[in-house]
């Protein structure tokens, strides 16, 4: 007959299997770090495009009205997004192979569905803001909708993602009060915060 400790181990094992079936917990912390590095690189490129030689921490009062500049900024954002997504998929796939699990599971598909709606809505909203000339709202909108997407999908992945989402929303709301520092807030939200949370995930789950 099993003793109490054996029953506790069995319950822990069952709970672990249930968590894995309901949550996608194979996210790579290293992918978060690299996404932050890519974002900082993109912010640097944007700085030289729209603000150099003024300090990156100076308050920007000029609006970006040139179509060519807007297209270049959108291309920079697309390159950062593409590099982050491709690296994230590659590293997460490598982690799932190491753990003898699968990348595309019901939990991971549900996670993608949950974050897709806020991200798509936010992307369209930002494009509308740029089209109508509300350039100061682009950076805070990116941060806020991204944070909403993370919170919405956090129930199907690691709990730390929820706190990253709240951090992005708070940063986006502050950015909306100081739109002239949009590039700085964008770099902190998508660069620094990703590196910090990626390092936390890497130390907790990958190392």
Indicate if the pLDDT at residue 115 is higher than 50. Answer: yes
- pTM comes to 0.84
Burial of 108 (0-12, 13-18, 19+ CB in 10 A): buried
Mean of per-residue pLDDT scores for the chain: 84
pLDDT value, residue 11? 45
Closest CA to 147 of 197, 104, 76: 197
- Share of the chain residues as helix, strand and coil, in percent rounded to the nearest 5: 80, 0, 20
The more confident residue out of 23 and 28 is: 28
Predicted pLDDT of residue 28: 83
Q: What pLDDT, on the 0 to 100 scale, is given for residue 8? A: 52
The stretch 128-138 carries a mean pLDDT of 87
Better pLDDT: 36 or 67: 36
Is residue 122 over pLDDT 80?
yes
Where does the pLDDT of residue 25 fall: very low under 50, low under 70, confident under 90, or very high at 90 and above? low
12, pLDDT greater than 60? no
> Which are the contacts of 158, defined by CB distance < 8 A and separation ≥ 6?
23, 25, 27, 201, 205
Cα angle 8-13-16, degrees, rounded to a multiple of 5 = 125
174 against 106, higher pLDDT? 174
The percent of residues in the chain predicted with pLDDT above 70, rounded, is 86
| Segments making up each domain of the chain, as ranges | 30-206
103 — pLDDT class (breaks 50, 70, 90): confident
- pLDDT of residue 23 exceeding 60, the answer is no
pLDDT at 204: 86
């Amino acid at each position: 007959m099993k003793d109490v400790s054996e029953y506790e181990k069995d319950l822990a094992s069952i709970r672990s299997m249930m968590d894995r079936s309901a949550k996608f917990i194979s996210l790579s912390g290293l992918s978060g770090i690299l996404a932050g590095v890519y974002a900082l690189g993109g912010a640097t490129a944007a700085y030289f495009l729209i603000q150099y030689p003024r300090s990156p921490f100076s308050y920007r009062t000029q609006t970006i009205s040139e179509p060519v500049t807007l297209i270049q900024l959108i291309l920079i954002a697309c390159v950062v997004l593409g590099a982050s997504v491709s690296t994230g998929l590659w590293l997460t796939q490598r982690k799932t192979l190491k753990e003898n699990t699968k990348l595309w599971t019901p939990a991971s598909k549900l996670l993608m569905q949950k974050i897709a709606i806020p991200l798509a809505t936010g992307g369209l909203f930002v494009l509308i803001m740029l089209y109508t000339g509300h350039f100061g709202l682009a950076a805070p909108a990116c941060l806020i909708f991204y944070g909403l997407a993370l919170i919405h999908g956090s129930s199907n992945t690691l709990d730390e993602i929820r706190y990253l989402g709240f951090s992005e929303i708070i940063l986006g709301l502050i950015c909306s009060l100081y739109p002239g520092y949009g590039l700085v807030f964008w770099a902190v939200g998508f660069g620094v915060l990703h590196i910090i949370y990626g390092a936390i995930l890497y130390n907790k789950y990958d190392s």
